[in-house]
Amino acid sequence: MPAMLARWGFSALWNPDIMIGVVVIGALYAWAVGPLRRKLGKELPVPTGQQVAFYLALFLLYLAVGSPLDVISDHYLFSAHMLQHMMLAVVVAPLLLIGSPAWFWRPIYQAPVLGRLLSFLTRPVIAVVVFNVLFSYMHFPGFYELSLRNPTVHFFEHATILVTALFMWWPVFSPLPELPALADPIKILYLFVDGLLMMVAFATITFAPTPLYTFYEQAPRLIPGLSPLEDQQVGGLVMHYMTLLAYGTATLWAFWRWARGERMKEEFGLLPRPEGRAKPQTHGSWNRGAH
């Protein structure tokens, strides 16, 4: 570990308080999807894959805000801070939704005020606009510099990114049938529009001719030879490629689901078939499914 980081000590680098908090949340989740679920007679067991998604989200949340990445982002490198933000926005948030069973969210939905608020903030247009407006604003120099110098504002920044990202991903990975996800073709359009809106912050950061953030201009050079402007450009590319990877993966998933659904409709005679194409035998389709 570089001497510049080693001087911070274990507590600052690894944040035991955050580590304990993440472990406690993971233990509560395990209790909720296991013994508590059975005791309360809740729905079907939570699948293993869904549980893995939740635990992975917690692990990555800790890496983002509790590991040495937090010190690096807060004191040395803008690119590390952008990695932190993108982990929260496009990795942790969707994994939390994927990993949450419906009955986690149903008490919130059924609460009079919170339910209306959840319904409003997860509407596709509202969700995508709120997330992108706030995300872009938080990367403008004035607010960004304030968050680096004020721990309370900094916490608010990270919490806002994560919470608004949950709302933004809801139309894609909704865990609650009462507030369902978009149809798969519409998800593809939604993700495309969302990606275009993210270009505002990306272009502003990446193509600025001079450094935007005085804080990082004055920061010690953790990586010799990496200038503040180059660090800023790397941060913009981190944002671009992580967005591309996350949205691209979600788009391919939605397209696959859509294509599979259309194929199943066609196989079972629910769609008109091209002229001259023989309709498959029903028992043959079932036999293929059995194998």
Query: Is 49 contained in some domain?
Result: yes
Amino acid, res. 43: E
Examine the pLDDT at 287 and tell me if it is beyond 60.
no
Confidence of residue 283 (pLDDT cuts 50, 70, 90): very low
Query: Is 141 contained in some domain?
Result: yes
Query: Is 86 contained in some domain?
Result: yes
**Residue 271 CB: number of other CB atoms within 10 A?**
11
Query: Is 119 contained in some domain?
Result: yes
Number of domains in the chain: 1
What is the pLDDT, as a whole number, of residue 158?
Answer: 97
Question: Comparing 88 with 290, which gets the higher pLDDT?
Answer: 88
Diameter of the chain measured on Cα atoms: 75
Examine the pLDDT at 232 and tell me if it is beyond 50.
yes
Confidence of residue 81 (pLDDT cuts 50, 70, 90): very high
Average predicted confidence (pLDDT) for the chain? 90
What is the 3-state secondary structure of 29-78? HHHHHHHHHHHHCCCCCCCHHHHHHHHHHHHHHHHHHCCHHHHHHHHCCH
**Percentage helix, strand, coil for the chain under 3-state DSSP, each rounded to 5:** 75, 0, 25
* Nearest one of 219, 217, 214 to 75, comparing CA atoms: 219
Q: Which two tokens stand for residue 99?
A: 């990993």
Question: For residues 72 and 75, what is the distance between their CA atoms, to the nearest angstrom?
Answer: 6
What is the pLDDT, as a whole number, of residue 275?
Answer: 47
Cβ–Cβ < 8 Å for 127, 118: no
What is the pLDDT, as a whole number, of residue 9?
Answer: 92
Section 225-231 average pLDDT: 96
Cβ–Cβ < 8 Å for 228, 244: no
What is the pLDDT, as a whole number, of residue 43?
Answer: 65
What is the pLDDT, as a whole number, of residue 262?
Answer: 85
Examine the pLDDT at 30 and tell me if it is beyond 50.
yes
Domain of residue 243 covers: 42-213+225-272
Q: Which two tokens stand for residue 178?
A: 């009462």
Read off the DSSP letter of residue 248: H
What is the pLDDT, as a whole number, of residue 289?
Answer: 38
What is the pLDDT, as a whole number, of residue 266?
Answer: 75
* Nearest one of 166, 176, 172 to 104, comparing CA atoms: 176
Confidence of residue 225 (pLDDT cuts 50, 70, 90): very high
Lowest mean pLDDT across 103-112, 213-222, 275-284: 275-284
Query: Is 204 contained in some domain?
Result: yes
Give the position of tokens 């472990």: 23
Examine the pLDDT at 218 and tell me if it is beyond 80.
yes
Section 145-174 average pLDDT: 96
Examine the pLDDT at 80 and tell me if it is beyond 90.
yes
What is the 3-state secondary structure of 118-187? HHHHCCHHHHHHHHHHHHHHCCCHHHHHHHHHCHHHHHHHHHHHHHHHHHHHHHHHCCCCCCCCCCHHHH
What is the pLDDT, as a whole number, of residue 284?
Answer: 39
Question: For residues 132 and 136, what is the distance between their CA atoms, to the nearest angstrom?
Answer: 6
Contacts of residue 103, Cβ cutoff 8 Å, sequence gap at least 6: 37, 42, 43
Examine the pLDDT at 31 and tell me if it is beyond 60.
yes
Radius of gyration of the chain (CA): 23
Query: Is 16 contained in some domain?
Result: no
Kindly report, residue by residue over 235-270, the tens digit of the pLDDT.
999 999 999 999 999 999 999 999 988 888 777 765
Kindly report, residue by residue over 128-153, the tens digit of the pLDDT.
999 999 999 999 999 999 999 999 99
Question: Comparing 124 with 6, which gets the higher pLDDT?
Answer: 124
Give the position of tokens 């509790």: 66
Tally the residues of the chain. Answer: 291
Examine the pLDDT at 291 and tell me if it is beyond 50.
no
* Nearest one of 253, 129, 119, 245 to 185, comparing CA atoms: 253
What is the pLDDT, as a whole number, of residue 271?
Answer: 52
* Nearest one of 144, 146, 168, 150 to 243, comparing CA atoms: 168
Query: Is 82 contained in some domain?
Result: yes
What is the pLDDT, as a whole number, of residue 280?
Answer: 44
Output the pTM of the full model.
0.89
Query: Is 180 contained in some domain?
Result: yes
Section 4-33 average pLDDT: 94
